[in-house]
């Protein structure tokens, strides 16, 4: 498999009145094309900080981070935004769909921002996540699980190289979580999208090809899963 | 906003209160006042001997003593004559159009007003002494002890200035019949003693062309700008005056205070100034309330989570409501305090300004407690009520709904979706976001509209007025100088014109027309008679109909649109009017625009037939390099140059606008504040949306474009609303200012509307960088945390 990204000895330290907080303390990982990675760890372990650094929402204070062989921009808001626009898809815990736009328009908006507007693909993705009958409805008119599936379709609509999600089923019941994750895995497989998800839920491991556990800003384990063997 | 509202209320309230006292001080019947006469009896085409005057006064006093409970304090003869002042030396000598009064030093009424600390010297006693009106003394560099040369008719004489003071008939420093004060120093009024005027004219001491009556007490007179008729008391005196005039065989015009233009115009100007302060204060209060409601609602909205937590922890609704009610009351009290402290300065500034414009000192200055109460109490009530709705909303928030995020869920509008689905999604989103809260947006537009009403209505009205009046005299008239003459005195003027190769045209112009309106009130208007209206030196802006011709049996006339409206006359009507006391039938064949005073236009030959006067002045079109000179001054009774009138109109409108400049700038300030408030609220409320888009890769440029589009949209709609409000305000202001004496037509000048639109759009667009700045400062890591909670 082709290497998609590489982090080497990555650090994210914060200066606080109580002293320096090491949210990430020398993280080294490599993620290859097509992997579905789950980041597990207790609260405050640094997994969300790692996700923020992966997405270039946050700038590491030390170490190296390259994406497709190129250094990822840091400390430059516009370049970081540009990196996200070109490479990253993001799924939020609370979906964050724009409520003035319909389901379809939410997807078209992201395509438009990325300069890849393609209504046929947007409709195809909605079909993929099982929402072809809801295209003209507003987010406020559909259920939470449906909204999260729209968010997934939105996140992959511009064909990102890397799809990220932070507790993306944290706001859903078990049955809906399974539906959402099934839709997500299906979409990632069909689109050959690499994904990294942060979660507390050990039950989601079955959807991943790799599980990385993190604690106190350090990686404590990094294992391939059964799904990885099957694929 | 509260402090600005209170400041404005106290400024205007105090201003209005003290203006009331301004003319009271001047006209008062006491040692310090000028004791304005109650009735003026005059005839400008003749003069009465001292015996005739005495005979009339005796007759009137006897009639009143026999038949009425009213009595006279005084009945005095006066002379008022137009003339000229020869100012300067040699080639630099300037002939200034002037008016000379002869006032006995022991006069009872219509005296010179010489307020302590605001005037100099004393009244004229000897026959070579003169008091110069304070409006012009400074501009001409005249001081006590200065020697001046003045003329009237063919006579001239030197006088020593012994005083600089004011007169209640000359607050508006404009020649009779004109509303436009020429530039300072271009029109002089001087007050001679009775012996002084006798020396100037060569007439016997006591010869008069005016009799002034001071009636005991304060008889009421009709105010022409009111619907009611208040003139019953003065009418009783006027009845006896008419009888005495008949019995003594004097032919004269009789006017009370309401009919004396020089007094009435200023009273109406004052009333209009006072009247406008009320709607302006109400408008400011309305803007302040809207802003407070919007801001408090935003405060509640932004604190909804804290409120929910407090409610979850058991805080009672009553306590929350009290807390949110105390906030506006505290804000209101602080604002009132600041406004009260600044109010007196604002009032003094406005009074100084009015004093500068009118040129009369405003001596009494104070803000009564009642004004403080009438400003502060309603303001506090408005502020309290403004806080009630947000406070009630705060107390009604359901903690479960807020904490679960349900209050933030809403369903978009299908109508908006259909309307904007053809647009790029980002633009569609901008529009939908802008109108997401229609009530708030409407309130914003309402506040912007009112703000622009403050700013734009005055601008729109004055621009329309200036355009109408100036285009009339600049474009439709071609004369350089108007030379006033005595009856049959045109010969020497025409000879002078011939000598310098100037073109001349005779005209009749005099304020001697009158007609009774539907309410039975006698309305006086100016009569103008010209040779023709097609290719003479004075043409008119004909709104409808035709210029008069002599083809018809009846006298054909044109009338200005203001008079037509007030009298409810129609084109083609035949009406009976009084022309210099002669009942005359006229046919209205045209309606004109461009006159501030009410005017009826005749062919000169027709008017001459009616009045027996060939001409009252001569228009001169001077060749290049020729100017009016002393020789012309000596054969005339006054000269007015067209350029001076143009400057006078510009200056008058400028001055009238200046008094409202404070209000205009307040309006502009409010527009900026309201727009800024709304735009900041819009951007702040959209943090969620903008952060989501930023995380998903939208550049600040793209988001900035969205914000710019939103700003443009709000700006354009706000601008349109503003222009409509400003137009409405201009119509209201014009109606408020319009009276028989002043008619203010509303002419929409497109450039003013564009300016207003442009200004609002500019303010809205100027807010975009604030949104972009917020975007750039947005901490996305923190925002993602918020989005995940």
Number of helices (H) and strands (E), helices first, in chain B? Answer: 24, 20
A12 lies in a domain?
Answer: yes
Specify the pLDDT at position B503: 92
Dump pLDDT digits (tens) for A22-66.
Answer: 999 999 999 999 899 999 988 888 988 998 899 898 899 999 999
A81 interfacial to chain B (CB closer than 8 Å): yes
A165 lies in a domain?
Answer: yes
- Residue B483's nearest CA partner among B604, B622, B597 is B622
**Least confident segment among B111-125, B169-183, B455-469, B482-496:** B169-183
Looking at this predicted complex, what is its ipTM? 0.80
Specify the pLDDT at position B402: 62
A167 interfacial to chain B (CB closer than 8 Å): yes
Count of pairs with CB atoms under 8 A, one residue in A, one in B: 103
Q: Give the number of domains in chain B.
A: 4
B416 interfacial to chain A (CB closer than 8 Å): yes
Mean pLDDT, rounded, of chain B: 83
3-state SS, one letter per residue, for B263-325 = HHHHHHHHHHHHHHHHHHHHHHHHHHHHHHHHHHHHHHHHCHHHHHHHHHCCCCHHHHHHHHH
Same domain, B16 and B6: yes
Burial of B33 (0-12, 13-18, 19+ CB in 10 A): middle
What would you report as the CA-atom Rg of chain B, rounded to the nearest whole angstrom? 33
* Residue-wise DSSP of B491-506: HHHHHHHHHTT-EEEE
Task: Evaluate the CA torsion angle A96, A101, A103, A104 in order and state its sign.
Answer: negative
A143 lies in a domain?
Answer: no
For chain A, the residue count is: 231
Specify the pLDDT at position B177: 62
B467 lies in a domain?
Answer: yes
Task: Evaluate the CA torsion angle B113, B117, B119, B121 in order and state its sign.
Answer: positive
Burial of A142 (0-12, 13-18, 19+ CB in 10 A): middle
A92 interfacial to chain B (CB closer than 8 Å): yes
Dump pLDDT digits (tens) for B246-269.
Answer: 998 888 888 898 888 778 877 877
- Asked whether the beta carbons of residue A55 and residue B429 sit closer than 8 angstroms, the reply is no
Please give the Cα distance from A187 to A184 (Å, whole number).
5
B403 lies in a domain?
Answer: no
Q: Residue with structure tokens 């903008």?
A: B690
Q: Residue with structure tokens 């209201």?
A: B732
Same domain, B765 and B700: yes
List B residues 687-706 in contact with A (Cβ-Cβ < 8 A).
Answer: 688-689, 692-700, 702
Contact between B699 and A81 under an 8 Å Cβ cutoff? The reply is yes
Specify the pLDDT at position B173: 79
Q: What is the mean pLDDT of residues B32-59?
A: 89
Same domain, B783 and B725: yes
Between residues B585 and B750, the one the model is more confident about: B585
- Asked whether the beta carbons of residue A113 and residue B436 sit closer than 8 angstroms, the reply is no
Same domain, B676 and B666: yes
Contact between A228 and A214 under an 8 Å Cβ cutoff? The reply is no
3-state SS, one letter per residue, for chain A = CCEEEEEEEEEEEEEECCEEEEEEEEEEEEEECCCEEEEECCCCCCHHHHHHHHHCCCCCCEEEEEECCEECCCCCHHHHHHHHHHHEEEECCCCCCCCCCCHHHHHHHHHHHCCCCCHHHHHHHHHHCCCHHHCCCCHHHCCHHHHHHHHHHHHHCCCCCEEEEECCCCCCCHHHHHHHHHHHHHHHHHHCCEEEEEECCHHHHHHCCEEEEEECCEEEEEEECHHHHHC
B405 lies in a domain?
Answer: no
Which tokens in the block code for residue B73? 């304090």
A69 lies in a domain?
Answer: yes
Specify the pLDDT at position B126: 93
The helix (run of H) or strand (run of E) holding residue B214 is: strand B210-215
- Residue A165's nearest CA partner among A173, A157, A156 is A156
- Residue A181's nearest CA partner among A159, A221, A152, A140 is A152
B124 SS3 class: coil
Backbone angles phi, psi at A167, to 5 degrees: 50, 50
Specify the pLDDT at position A35: 92
B74 lies in a domain?
Answer: yes
Same domain, B318 and B418: no
- Residue B559's nearest CA partner among B549, A67, B570 is B570
Least Cα separation, residue B303 to chain A (angstroms) = 20
Q: What is the mean pLDDT of residues B734-759?
A: 79
Q: Which residue range(s) make up the domain with A192? A: 3-96+159-230
Same domain, B196 and B311: no
A82 lies in a domain?
Answer: yes
Q: Which residue of A has its CA nearest to B778?
A: A77
Contact between A105 and A153 under an 8 Å Cβ cutoff? The reply is no
Dump pLDDT digits (tens) for B528-572.
Answer: 999 988 888 888 888 899 999 887 788 999 999 989 988 999 999
Mutation for B interface: A100, A107, A135, A161, most B CBs within 10 A: A100
A109 lies in a domain?
Answer: no
Same domain, B24 and B91: no
**pLDDT band of A70, cuts 50, 70, 90:** very high
Question: Which residues in chain A are closer than 8 Å to B700, comparing Cβ atoms?
Answer: 77-78, 81
Q: Which residue range(s) make up the domain with B189? A: 37-256
Q: Domain boundary at B225, B256, B287, which?
A: B256
Contacts of residue A40, defined as CB under 8 A and 6 or more positions apart, other chains included, come to A47, A199, A200, A202, A205, A211, A212, A213, A214
A72 lies in a domain?
Answer: yes
Backbone angles phi, psi at A22, to 5 degrees: -95, 90
Tally of CB atoms within 10 A around B408: 14
A99 interfacial to chain B (CB closer than 8 Å): yes
- Residue A84's nearest CA partner among A59, A108, A101, A117 is A59
Q: Domain boundary at B652, B668, B688, which?
A: B652
CATH classification of the domain holding A11: 3.40.50.300
B121 interfacial to chain A (CB closer than 8 Å): no
Mutation for A interface: B409, B418, B424, B425, most A CBs within 10 A: B425
* Residue-wise DSSP of B589-604: EEEEE--SS-EEEEEH
Which of B411, B692, B695 faces A141 most closely, judged by CB atoms? B411
Same domain, B18 and B69: no
Contacts of residue B437, defined as CB under 8 A and 6 or more positions apart, other chains included, come to none
- Residue B248's nearest CA partner among B73, B391, B381, B59 is B59
Same domain, B585 and B719: no
Contact between B725 and B789 under an 8 Å Cβ cutoff? The reply is no
Question: Which residues in chain A are closer than 8 Å to B702, comparing Cβ atoms?
Answer: 113
Specify the pLDDT at position B787: 57
The helix (run of H) or strand (run of E) holding residue B211 is: strand B210-215
B404 lies in a domain?
Answer: no
Backbone angles phi, psi at B247, to 5 degrees: -70, -30
Q: Give the number of domains in chain A.
A: 1
Contacts of residue A124, defined as CB under 8 A and 6 or more positions apart, other chains included, come to none
Which of A86, A138, A154 faces B412 most closely, judged by CB atoms? A138
Please give the Cα distance from B574 to B418 (Å, whole number).
61
Q: Domain boundary at B634, B652, B670, which?
A: B652
**pLDDT band of B33, cuts 50, 70, 90:** confident
pLDDT over 70 at A203, yes or no: yes
Contact between A72 and A65 under an 8 Å Cβ cutoff? The reply is yes
Which residues partner with B336 through β-bridges?
A: none
Contacts of residue B311, defined as CB under 8 A and 6 or more positions apart, other chains included, come to B317, B320, B397, B399
| Statement: the pTM of the whole predicted model exceeds 0.90 | no
Which residues partner with B166 through β-bridges?
A: B113
- Asked whether the beta carbons of residue A140 and residue B780 sit closer than 8 angstroms, the reply is no
* Residue-wise DSSP of B23-88: HHHHH-SSSSS----SEEEE-TT--B-HHHHHHHHHHHHHHHHHH-S--EEEEEEEEEEEEEEEES
A141 lies in a domain?
Answer: no
């Amino acid at each position: 498999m082709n290497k998609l990204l590489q982090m080497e000895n990555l650090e994210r330290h914060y200066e606080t009145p109580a002293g320096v907080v090491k949210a990430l303390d020398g993280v080294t990982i490599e993620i290859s094309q097509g992997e579905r990675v789950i980041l597990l760890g207790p609260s405050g372990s640094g997994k969300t900080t790692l996700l923020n650094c992966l997405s270039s929402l946050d700038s590491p204070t030390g170490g190296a981070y390259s994406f497709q062989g190129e250094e990822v921009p840091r400390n430059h808001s516009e370049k970081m935004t540009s990196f996200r626009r070109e490479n990253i898809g993001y799924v939020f815990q609370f979906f964050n769909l724009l409520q003035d736009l319909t389901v379809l328009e939410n997807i078209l908006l992201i395509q438009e921002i990325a300069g890849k507007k393609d209504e046929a693909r947007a409709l195809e993705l909605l079909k993929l996540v099982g929402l072809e009958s809801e295209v003209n409805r507003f987010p406020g008119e559909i259920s939470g699980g449906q909204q999260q599936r729209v968010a997934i379709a939105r996140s992959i609509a511009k064909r990102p190289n890397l799809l990220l999600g932070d507790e993306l089923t944290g706001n859903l019941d078990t049955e809906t979580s399974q539906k959402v994750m099934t839709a997500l895995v299906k979409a990632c497989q069909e689109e050959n999208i690499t994904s990294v998800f942060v979660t507390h839920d050990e039950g989601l491991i079955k959807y991943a090809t790799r599980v990385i556990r993190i604690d106190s800003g350090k990686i404590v384990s990094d294992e391939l899963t059964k799904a990885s063997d099957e694929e | 906003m509260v402090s600005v509202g209170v400041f404005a209320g106290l400024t205007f309230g105090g201003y209005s209160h003290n203006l009331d006292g301004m003319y009271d001080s001047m006209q008062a019947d006491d040692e310090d006042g000028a004791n304005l006469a109650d009735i003026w009896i005059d005839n400008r085409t003749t003069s009465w001997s001292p015996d005739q005057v005495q005979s009339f006064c005796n007759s009137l006093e006897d009639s009143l003593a026999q038949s009425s409970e009213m009595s006279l304090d005084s009945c005095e003869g006066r002379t008022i004559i137009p003339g000229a002042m020869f100012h300067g030396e040699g080639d630099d000598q300037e002939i200034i159009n002037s008016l000379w009064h002869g006032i006995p030093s022991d006069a009872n009424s219509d005296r010179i007003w010489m307020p302590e600390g605001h005037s100099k010297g004393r009244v004229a006693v000897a026959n070579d002494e003169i008091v110069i009106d304070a409006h012009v003394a400074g501009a001409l560099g005249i001081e006590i002890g200065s020697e001046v040369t003045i003329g009237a008719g063919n006579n001239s004489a030197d006088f020593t200035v012994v005083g600089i003071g004011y007169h209640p008939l000359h607050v508006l420093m404009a020649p009779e019949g004109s509303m436009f004060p020429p530039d300072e120093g271009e029109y002089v009024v001087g007050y001679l003693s009775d012996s002084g005027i006798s020396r100037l004219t060569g007439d016997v001491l006591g010869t008069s062309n005016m009799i002034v009556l001071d009636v005991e007490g304060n008889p009421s007179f009709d105010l022409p700008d009111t619907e009611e008729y208040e003139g019953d008391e003065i009418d009783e005196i006027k009845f006896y005056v008419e009888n005495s005039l008949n019995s003594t065989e004097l032919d004269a015009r009789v006017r009370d205070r309401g009919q004396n233009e020089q007094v009435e115009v200023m009273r109406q100007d004052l009333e209009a100034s006072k009247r406008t302060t009320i709607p302006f204060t109400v408008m400011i209060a309305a803007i302040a309330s809207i802003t407070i409601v919007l801001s408090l609602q935003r405060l509640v909205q932004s604190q909804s989570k804290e409120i929910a937590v407090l409610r979850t922890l058991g805080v009672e609704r009553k306590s929350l409501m009290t807390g949110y009610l105390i906030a506006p009351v505290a804000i209101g009290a602080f604002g009132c305090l600041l406004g009260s402290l600044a109010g007196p300065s604002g009032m003094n500034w406005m009074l100084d300004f009015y004093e500068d414009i009118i040129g009369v000192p405003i001596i009494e200055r104070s803000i009564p407690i009642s004004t403080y109460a009438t400003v502060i109490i309603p303001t506090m009530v408005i502020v309290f009520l403004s806080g009630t709705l947000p406070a009630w909303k705060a107390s009604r928030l359901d903690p479960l709904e807020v904490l679960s995020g349900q209050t933030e869920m809403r369903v978009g509008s299908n109508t908006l979706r259909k309307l904007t689905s053809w647009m790029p999604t980002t633009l569609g989103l901008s529009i939908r976001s802008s109108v997401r809260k229609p009530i708030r947006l409407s309130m914003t537009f309402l506040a912007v509209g009112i703000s622009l009403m403050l700013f734009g209505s005055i601008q729109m009205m004055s621009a329309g007025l200036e355009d109408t009046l100036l285009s009339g005299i600049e474009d439709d008239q071609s004369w350089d100088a108007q030379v006033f003459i005595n009856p049959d005195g045109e010969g020497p003027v025409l000879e002078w014109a011939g000598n310098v190769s100037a073109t001349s045209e005779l005209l009749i112009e005099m304020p001697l027309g009158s007609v009774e309106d539907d309410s039975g009130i006698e309305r006086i208007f100016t009569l103008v008679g010209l040779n023709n209206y097609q290719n003479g030196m004075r043409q008119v802006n004909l709104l409808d109909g035709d210029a008069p011709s002599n083809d018809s049996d009846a006298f054909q006339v044109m009338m200005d649109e203001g008079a037509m409206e007030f009298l409810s006359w129609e084109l083609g009507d035949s009406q009976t009017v009084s022309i210099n006391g002669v009942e005359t039938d006229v046919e209205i064949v045209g309606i004109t625009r461009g006159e501030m005073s009410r005017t009826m236009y005749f062919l000169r030959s027709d008017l001459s037939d009616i009045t027996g006067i060939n001409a009252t002045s001569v228009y001169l079109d001077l060749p290049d390099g020729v100017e009016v000179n002393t020789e012309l001054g000596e054969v005339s009774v006054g000269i007015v140059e067209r350029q001076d009138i143009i400057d006078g109109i510009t200056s008058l409108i400028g001055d009238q606008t200046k008094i409202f400049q404070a209000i205009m700038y307040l309006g502009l300030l409010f527009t900026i504040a309201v727009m800024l408030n709304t735009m900041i609220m819009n951007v702040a409320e959209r943090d969620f949306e903008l952060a989501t888009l930023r995380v998903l890769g939208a550049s600040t440029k793209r988001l900035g474009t969205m914000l710019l589009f939103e700003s443009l949209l709000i700006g354009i709609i706000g601008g349109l609303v503003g222009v409509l409000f400003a137009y409405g305000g201009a119509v209201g202001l014009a109606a408020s200012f319009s009276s028989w004496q002043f008619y203010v037509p509303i002419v929409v000048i497109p450039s003013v509307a564009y300016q207003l639109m442009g200004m609002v759009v500019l303010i809205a667009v100027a807010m975009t960088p604030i949104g972009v700045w917020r975007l750039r400062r947005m901490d996305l890591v923190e925002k993602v945390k918020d989005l995940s909670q």
